[in-house]
């Protein structure tokens, strides 16, 4: 759509793309959110080896479904429950694989929520800690040219874990024995898709958590999908109170090279519900601006998002985060290697803006939606209900 609005393609070409985009059943074939969570489910040990990457149309998918049902019955008889499998150690394995694969930013949101449910401590700083020691050895769409069916042919998630070696805790329990027992069965690693860990795409992981006055509790970016020239970037804010405003401005040609698009009041409470900002990021990419324009939001992204797109800003605008006080033309500093995200406005001006109060968009909420908005936490804790 962005390319169409920019005049880069004709409407006939757009129609052809739409007609051919989803040729069969199954999830999108990139390392987007659905596939990312499938992969991490297998890493944690809650699904059978190989289950994460088998295409929906393969007979193996039907066989796995039957084997899964059989194994569930056995697990009940053995008295093994999810809480025996989901532990701090297995979650660390998941984060490690996440960094190696360059998964969707949404994985961090989901892992935080899973840890909350399981009673496991989760801190966003763990992501940078694990990323610092984990090489990015796969570049699947949108970061690269490979897709999930290519990963499956290269040995799947078990081959990735085998390549990561000592970075993985192989003593963890899974639904099919220990990680070590599963990895004994790995016979092949396809090197076109899974790089050796001593020859990675990058020495650090695919995701990064940024901190600064704009994200005191953190913000998440898919570093592996950011153009090198955008890893360090300072630009002028174009501010929008919601996705629809931003889309209108992008399609209207009001976003220029060097801008930072700020979309606020789209967090868990502010949305409410934390919509994914796929349409704005897709529009920016389609118009050829993803290597020259950044986007920051307290909302979240589709795993298909590429470019300097920073989400999950916490505290969110509805929770009185500084993003609520950004004004048009303010300078915003993004430094992904240094893990920084800052509003370059002096403290005195910030305090004056806070004293004047914020002006959230009017939301006509009632019933359960209003209750959800009051009770939900910011993204840093997984958008779970406050105690």
Q: Mind telling me the catalytic residues?
A: 302
Structural tokens at position 72: 């569930």
Rounded Cα–Cα distance for residues 387 and 376 (Å) = 9
Residue 240 CA to residue 69 CA, distance in Å, equals 48
Ordered DSSP codes for 58-96: SHHHHHHHHHHHHHHHHHHHHT--HHHH--HHHHHHHHH
Rg from Cα positions in the chain: 21
Q: Backbone dihedral region of 36: left (phi > 0), alpha (psi from -120 to 50 degrees) or beta?
A: alpha
Whole-angstrom distance, CA of residue 273 vs CA of residue 260: 23
Cβ burial of 267 (10 Å; 0-12, 13-18, 19+) is buried
Pick the closest to residue 303 from 383, 224, 185, 386 (CA basis): 224
Q: Which two tokens stand for residue 147?
A: 């897709």
If one counts every other C-beta atom within 10 angstroms of the C-beta of residue 73, the result is: 9
3-state helix, strand, coil in the chain (%, to 5): 40, 15, 45
Token representation of residue 36: 């990312």
């Amino acid at each position: 759509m962005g390319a169409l609005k920019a005049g880069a393609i004709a409407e006939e070409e757009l129609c052809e793309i739409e007609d051919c985009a989803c040729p069969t059943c199954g999830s999108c074939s990139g390392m987007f959110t659905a596939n990312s969570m499938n992969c991490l489910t297998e890493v944690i040990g809650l699904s059978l080896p190989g289950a994460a990457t088998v295409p929906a149309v393969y007979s193996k998918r039907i066989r796995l479904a039957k084997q899964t049902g059989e194994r569930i019955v056995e697990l009940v008889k053995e008295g093994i429950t999810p809480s025996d499998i989901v532990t701090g150690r297995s979650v660390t394995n998941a984060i490690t694989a996440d960094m190696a694969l360059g998964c969707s930013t949404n994985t961090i949101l989901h892992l935080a929520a899973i840890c909350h449910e399981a009673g496991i401590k989760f801190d966003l700083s763990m992501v940078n800690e694990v990323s610092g020691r984990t090489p990015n050895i796969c570049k699947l769409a949108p970061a690269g040219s490979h897709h999930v069916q290519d990963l499956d042919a290269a040995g799947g998630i078990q081959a990735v874990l085998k390549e990561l070696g000592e970075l993985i805790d192989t003593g963890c329990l899974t639904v099919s024995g220990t990680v070590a027992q599963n990895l004994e069965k790995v016979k092949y690693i396809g090197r076109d898709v899974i790089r050796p860990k001593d020859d990675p795409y990058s020495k650090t992981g695919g995701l990064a958590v940024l901190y600064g006055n704009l994200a005191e509790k953190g913000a998440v970016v898919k570093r592996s999908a950011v153009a090198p020239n955008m890893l360090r970037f300072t630009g002028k804010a174009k501010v929008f109170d919601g996705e629809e405003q931003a889309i209108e401005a992008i399609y209207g040609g009001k976003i220029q090279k060097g801008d930072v698009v700020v979309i606020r009041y789209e967090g868990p409470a502010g949305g409410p519900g934390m919509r994914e900002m796929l349409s704005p990021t897709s529009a920016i990419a389609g118009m050829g601006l993803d290597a020259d324009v950044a986007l920051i939001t307290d909302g979240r992204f589709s795993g298909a998002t590429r470019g300097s797109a920073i989400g999950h800003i916490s505290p969110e605008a509805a929770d009185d985060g500084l993003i609520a006080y950004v004004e048009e033309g303010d300078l915003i500093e993004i430094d992904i290697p240094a893990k920084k995200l800052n509003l370059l406005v002096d403290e005195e001006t910030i305090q004056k803006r806070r004293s004047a109060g914020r002006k959230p968009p009017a939301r006509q909420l009632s019933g359960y939606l209003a209750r959800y908005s009051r009770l939900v936490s910011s993204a840093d804790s997984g958008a779970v209900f406050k105690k």
